[in-house]
Structure 1
Amino acid sequence: MSASGRGRRSKVAALWRLGVAEASAYRASLLVWVLATTLPLISLVLWRALAESGPIGDYDQHGFDSYFIAAFVVRQLSASWVVWDLDRQIRTGELSALLMRPVHPVLHHAMTNLSALPLRTALAAPVGLAVLLATGGISITEDPAMLALVVPVLALAWAINFVTQLAIGCLAFWLTKAAALYDVWLGAYVVLAGYLVPTSLFPAGLAEVARMLPFHAALGFPVELLIGRLSVAEAVAGIGLQLVWLVALGALAALAWRWGLRAYGAFGA
């Protein structure tokens, strides 16, 4: 490996260690965050009760158990919070210090977010285990080809969430509180991602539209793949849609970052 390659690897490793240290220092905040994302488990209780007298659509009680437990897991593994960090750094001028480091600030944020996921998952594990014991378990796909797709699909879901937040966070270059706009996105995510209701249970027409949006690509699609509700063809099409949204939102984030830095520098920050 070349010296430049070793240098990049050492920088990434240093960022990972920094992220792990920060996550450990703020583990109480992470635990609060985990508990704040238990909405799918609340939905599980509701839909399980509604399905007691018979299936609803193509979901019976066990189907709802599997879906919402998987939604809870996917939410933990695809989470990002760069929008709040970037919004604060731009408004307070902290970004200037990041720009002077030999590592791109976006890489800094990506590694900080990724390195916290193991601890976040560990904190969420007791909650998930308790629900598993209470409901009797979860059914996941047994198809080896589909199982092989789980990790890349989750990685793409995380990347979609990350670049979305990055694009919105960059609005802080021009707006006083850009992170507040993310609440609008998050509201649409909760409704349209399959977070509260599987999108297959949406009214005809709305279901088809919802399944084409980035919200579903970041949550509902990975959940349905994990619990074995998709064919190989549907899985491949879903990954293609994830890639389309990742490229589109990533390009938007790149433009917002480039133009925002010009505005940031113009003010002498």
Structure 2
Amino acid sequence: MPQGAIRYILQRLTQQVKVFLSVYYAHMVEYRAELLLWVLSGSLPLILMGVWAEAAQSGEFGRSPLDFVRYFLAVFLVRQFTVVWVIWDFEREVVEGKLSFRLLQPIDPGWHHFAGHFAERFARMPFAAILIGLFFWLYPDAFWIPSVTDVALFLLATAMAFVLRFIMQYTFAMLSFWMERANAIEQFWFLFYLFLSGLIAPIEVFPPILQTLVQWTPFPYMIAFPANLLIGEPTDIWRGFGVTLIWIGLFWGLNRWLWRRGLRRYSGMGA
């Protein structure tokens, strides 16, 4: 392919991505009050931080109270960048027949949802920054400056965690072609995510055998792995990124298989 043609394709693709994100960003900014509530709803790690910091004073958990404070602040940050709700939107589109309009467009409907989620990260940043500033005002001793390497690894791990979380939930959303309440699967799956991701407790406080088993599941790489990278805790970086990529690939393959089969079922119902 000529170099000029490649440049033209890249320019067109870049322009389409910019338009997509700008449209969904404008849509998200319209609901500032709702965004604030979403940010506050993700403040559970800041609540648990006080509980674990108090418990750490006994010296039985291998981390100091200050370590727990920084860990749960990092967890809060990861949660702000990885929250996903695609299953509820997609389920509504299938049940109400709105997916038919998406199928008329020359782009996979999933990219609409992905663009909406991605743009929403930027819309909630100001609210999250205010909460972080308030946090450091209340806990000045917890302030630290991570290294450039830690920040870069954290951003990469968080981006991959968001992709994994999105693909997982979008895969469960495909079950909407066969059932009216696919979100029930997500709610059940969320229980494992809640307890095994490091959201309510660091993985290091689990029994050793459970730690070994959890490391091969997708859950700790959606919260604990990027959080530990940010605060500089010893972490197996290669295993973290490798296992994350494996799970992304597995869910992506399952997603495409369910999409093809579900789309035939959806069309067969008269859509």
The CA deviation at 1:140 is 5.8
Contact 2:197–2:223 (8 Å) recurs in 1: yes
What is the identity, as a one-letter code, of the residue corresponding to 2:54? A
The CA deviation at 1:230 is 2.2
What is the identity, as a one-letter code, of the residue corresponding to 1:79? V
Instruction: Tell me which of 166, 169, 178 is aligned to 1:165.
Output: 169
The CA deviation at 1:210 is 1.7
Moved more, 66-75 or 202-211: 202-211
Aligned pair 1:10/2:15, yes or no?
Answer: yes
Which SS does the other structure have where 1:59 is aligned?
coil
What is the identity, as a one-letter code, of the residue corresponding to 1:249? F
| Aligned twin of 2:157 | 153
What is the identity, as a one-letter code, of the residue corresponding to 2:17? V
| Aligned twin of 1:36 | 41
| Aligned twin of 2:257 | 255
Instruction: Tell me which of 80, 88, 109 is aligned to 1:105.
Output: 109
Write the mapping of 1:1-269 to structure 2, written as runs, cut at 5 A: 2=5, 3-52=8-57, 54-136=58-140, 137-139=142-144, 141-142=146-147, 144-231=148-235, 234-269=236-271
| CA shift in 2, pair 1:151/1:175, >3 Å | same
Which SS does the other structure have where 2:208 is aligned?
coil
CA deviations on 1:203-242 (whole Å, 9 max, x unpaired) are 12112212221111111111111111125xx112211111
Contact 1:62–1:138 (8 Å) recurs in 2: no
Aligned length: 265
User: Where does structure 2 lack aligned partners over 5 or more consecutive residues?
Assistant: none
| Cα distance between partner residues in 2 of 1:201 and 1:248 | 29
Contact 2:90–2:173 (8 Å) recurs in 1: yes
| Cα distance between partner residues in 2 of 1:27 and 1:186 | 26
Root-mean-square deviation (CA), in Å?
Answer: 1.6
| Cα distance between partner residues in 1 of 2:160 and 2:149 | 17
Normalised to the residue count of structure 1, the TM-score between the two structures is 0.93
CA deviations on 1:63-97 (whole Å, 9 max, x unpaired) are 00110000000110122221111111111111111
| CA shift in 2, pair 1:102/1:8, >3 Å | farther
CA deviations on 1:236-259 (whole Å, 9 max, x unpaired) are 221111111111111111112121
What is the identity, as a one-letter code, of the residue corresponding to 1:195? L
| Cα distance between partner residues in 2 of 1:140 and 1:253 | 39
Moved more, 118-127 or 186-195: 118-127
- % identical equivalent positions: 31
User: Where does structure 1 lack aligned partners over 5 or more consecutive residues?
Assistant: none
What is the identity, as a one-letter code, of the residue corresponding to 2:18? A
